A and B are shown apart, each in its own frame.
Chain A
Amino acid sequence: MAEQKEKKVEDIKKEADAKKCPVSKALYYIEEFLVGPMCGKCFPCEMGVYEARIRLKKLTEGKGSEADIFAIKKIASAMLESSRCKRGKDTANFILEWMATDVFKEHTEGRCPEKECLGLIEYRIIPDKCTMCGLCVEACKFNAISGEKKKKYQSGVLPFEIRQKRCVKCGDCIKACPEGAIVIVDVKEKTAQTV
Chain B
Amino acid sequence: MANMIKLKIDDKEVQTQEGMNLIDAAESAGVHIPNLCYLKGMAGIGACRLCLVEVEGAKAPMIACNTKIKEGMVVNTKTEKILETRKFIIDLILSMHPLDCMTCTKAGVCNLQQYAYDFGIKESGFTRKKFGYPTDEANPFIKRDPDYCILCGRCVRVCRHQGTNVLDFMGRGVGAKVVTADDKPLQESACTFCGNCVDACPVNALLEADRWRKGREWEYEKTNSVCLLCGNGCNITVSKKDGRVAKVNSAGIEGSAEKYICAYGRFGFDCIEAETRITSPMKKVGNELQETTWEDAITIVSERLKKAGESAGFISTAGIMNEDAVVLKQLAAALNTKNIDTTASLYSDAASLKNESADIDSADLIVLAGLNPNQWTRVLPALDAAIRRRVNSGAKLIVVNSGDANISSVATVAIKGDEAKILSEIAQGIVSKGAKVPKEMVHALASVDPSDNAIKAAEIFMAANNPVIFSSPALYNAAANLSLIKGTAVAVPIESNAKGVVLMGIEGAGKAYKEMADKGMDVLYAIGELPLNKRPKTDFLVVQNSHMTELAKQADVVLPSAAFLEASGTIVDYMGRLKCLCSAIAPAGQAKTHREIFIAISEALGKAIKEPKDSDINKALKAKVKVELKPFKKKEGLEVNAEEMIESINASVINGSRLLWLKETEKAVAA
A46 pairs with B174, CB closer than 8 A: yes
| Given A54-B127, A81-B81, A82-B49, CB of A40 within 8 Å of CB of B92 | no
The residues of B that contact A43 with a CB separation of less than 8 Å are 47-50, 89, 92-93, 151
B61 pairs with A38, CB closer than 8 A: no
Picked from B85, B95, B173, B176, the residue with its CB within 8 Å of the CB of A81 is: B85
| Binary flags per residue of B88-119, CB closer than 8 Å to A gives 1, else 0 | 11001101100000000000000000000000
The residues of A that contact B171 with a CB separation of less than 8 Å are 40
- A50 to B, closest residue via Cβ: B174
Instruction: Report the interface size class on chain A.
Output: 20 to 34
B46 pairs with A46, CB closer than 8 A: no
B window 71-87: CB within 8 A of A: 81, 84-85
A149 within 8 A of B: no
- B47 to A, closest residue via Cβ: A42
- B37 to A, closest residue via Cβ: A43
B174 pairs with A44, CB closer than 8 A: no
A42 pairs with B174, CB closer than 8 A: no
DSSP class of B's interface residues: helix, strand, loop or mixed?
Answer: loop
| Binary flags per residue of B61-72, CB closer than 8 Å to A gives 1, else 0 | 100000000000
| Given A34-B173, A39-B172, A43-B48, CB of A48 within 8 Å of CB of B92 | yes
A74 pairs with B49, CB closer than 8 A: no
The residues of B that contact A83 with a CB separation of less than 8 Å are 49
A51 pairs with B46, CB closer than 8 A: no
A81 pairs with B61, CB closer than 8 A: yes
The residues of B that contact A50 with a CB separation of less than 8 Å are 129, 173-174
B49 pairs with A71, CB closer than 8 A: no
| Binary flags per residue of B51-67, CB closer than 8 Å to A gives 1, else 0 | 01000000011000000
A40 pairs with B173, CB closer than 8 A: yes
**A40 shortest CB reach to chain B, Å:** 3
A44 pairs with B126, CB closer than 8 A: no
- A40 to B, closest residue via Cβ: B172
| Given A44-B89, A51-B92, A71-B126, CB of A84 within 8 Å of CB of B172 | no
| Binary flags per residue of A1-31, CB closer than 8 Å to B gives 1, else 0 | 0000000000000000000000000000000
**A12 shortest CB reach to chain B, Å:** 16
B window 10-53: CB within 8 A of A: 45-50, 52
Picked from A39, A42, A55, the residue with its CB within 8 Å of the CB of B49 is: A42
Q: How far is the CA of A78 from the CA of B89 in the complex (A)?
A: 9
B85 pairs with A82, CB closer than 8 A: yes
Q: How far is the CA of A93 from the CA of B33 in the complex (A)?
A: 28
B125 within 8 A of A: yes
Q: How far is the CA of A46 from the CA of B173 in the complex (A)?
A: 5
A41 within 8 A of B: yes
The residues of A that contact B81 with a CB separation of less than 8 Å are 81
- Of B48, B92, B125, most buried by chain A (CB within 10 Å of CB) is B92
- B36 to A, closest residue via Cβ: A43
- B126 to A, closest residue via Cβ: A51
A44 pairs with B85, CB closer than 8 A: yes
**B53 shortest CB reach to chain A, Å:** 11
Instruction: Report the interface size class on chain B.
Output: 20 to 34
DSSP class of A's interface residues: helix, strand, loop or mixed?
Answer: helix
The residues of A that contact B176 with a CB separation of less than 8 Å are 40
A47 within 8 A of B: yes
**A48 shortest CB reach to chain B, Å:** 6
Q: How far is the CA of A120 from the CA of B138 in the complex (A)?
A: 49
Q: How far is the CA of A13 from the CA of B95 in the complex (A)?
A: 28
The residues of A that contact B173 with a CB separation of less than 8 Å are 34, 38, 40, 46, 49-50
The residues of A that contact B126 with a CB separation of less than 8 Å are 51, 71
Q: How far is the CA of A74 from the CA of B129 in the complex (A)?
A: 18
- A35 to B, closest residue via Cβ: B173
The residues of A that contact B88 with a CB separation of less than 8 Å are 44, 74-75, 78, 82
B85 pairs with A47, CB closer than 8 A: no
**B42 shortest CB reach to chain A, Å:** 16
| Binary flags per residue of B407-447, CB closer than 8 Å to A gives 1, else 0 | 00000000000000000000000000000000000000000
The residues of A that contact B93 with a CB separation of less than 8 Å are 43, 47
B window 135-172: CB within 8 A of A: 151, 171-172
A47 pairs with B96, CB closer than 8 A: yes
The residues of B that contact A75 with a CB separation of less than 8 Å are 88
The residues of B that contact A74 with a CB separation of less than 8 Å are 88
- B63 to A, closest residue via Cβ: A84
| Given A71-B126, A81-B85, CB of A47 within 8 Å of CB of B49 | no
**A60 shortest CB reach to chain B, Å:** 15
Q: How far is the CA of A47 from the CA of B171 in the complex (A)?
A: 14
**B191 shortest CB reach to chain A, Å:** 24
The residues of B that contact A39 with a CB separation of less than 8 Å are 172
**A36 shortest CB reach to chain B, Å:** 11
The residues of A that contact B129 with a CB separation of less than 8 Å are 50
The residues of B that contact A41 with a CB separation of less than 8 Å are 45, 47, 172
9 A-B pairs within 8 Å (CB atoms) are namely: A41-B172, A44-B49, A46-B172, A49-B173, A51-B95, A51-B127, A78-B85, A81-B85, A82-B52
Residues of B that sit less than 8 Å from A by CB:
45-50, 52, 60-61, 81, 84-85, 88-89, 92-93, 95-96, 125-127, 129, 151, 171-174, 176
Residues of A that sit less than 8 Å from B by CB:
34, 38-44, 46-51, 54-55, 71, 74-75, 78, 81-84
9 other A-B residue contacts (CB within 8 Å) besides A38-B172, A41-B45:
A41-B47, A44-B88, A44-B92, A46-B151, A46-B172, A50-B174, A75-B88, A78-B89, A82-B49
